[in-house]
Structure 1
């Protein structure tokens, strides 16, 4: 009789563990920083920081000088998601900063950082045949996060 009760307890524990793992398997993005990049209002890249770097290439061949690149970075550890002392830098292959854009701390629900495509196109002409990347930094992320490579 004790053996049957012991087996039932083990089966219940095992079932509970399986159900717990199953429930958490449907939330793979929980607790991760994420960001979205828009060309004007069109989503062109959405990433979580744990995804491979080779997927992070922005093709801006069809972008016009009047377009705006809008970046929305969401920190998982901050209540409203917005970092403080935010900036986005354009860096070359060696990590040298080509241009840096600094943004005010976000207020309300608008966490967007906007860069004029015209500026990116001008910098691309000056640094032709170089690999350029966008890197986000904030007080909460001082080492920075490479958002994407640029392809014109």
Structure 2
């Protein structure tokens, strides 16, 4: 009789463990890099890196020259989320870097990288008929990640 109770308890524990592992295997954002793009303090875009590229378009036609883009990129493998040797670049259709902004390693809780909209508008004027993209690179992501296309 005692042996049956032990077997039932063991089976119950095994079932609970199996259900727990199954439930956690379907979380889509666990272990993925993510980023947010703000115009001043207004959230424009929040993505994880596995989402389709077609959704990554920044419409900046209402942005003023004095506004700022604030980009925060969170690495899933780093404790505080901020990469090291971070940079953002604006690239043309061929992948040529038109402008590169280099940022210091984040030391506090504010992980944002700031790009003046004025500089983006100047580059857009000189490359008017090209698709421009904003690309993030860091020591942890040397090949870079295209964050969004930029449209005015």
Deviation at residue 64 of structure 1 after TM alignment: 0.5
Deviation at residue 16 of structure 1 after TM alignment: 4.0
Partner of 1:91: 91
1:21 aligns with 2:11: no
Partner of 1:82: 82
Provide structure 2 residue ranges, at least 5 long, that are not aligned to the other structure. Answer: none
Q: Which runs of 4+ in 1 moved over 3 A?
A: 8-16
Judge which range, 41-50 or 12-21, deviates more: 12-21
Partner of 2:123: 123
**In the TM superposition, what are the counterparts of 1:47-58 in structure 2 within 5 Å?**
47-58=47-58
Separation (CA, whole Å) in 2 of partners of 1:47 and 1:86? 18
Compute the RMSD of aligned alpha carbons. Answer: 2.1
TM-score when scaled to structure 1? 0.88
Provide structure 1 residue ranges, at least 5 long, that are not aligned to the other structure. Answer: none
Q: Deviations over 1:90-130 (max 9, x none)?
A: 00010000110001111111111000001101110000010
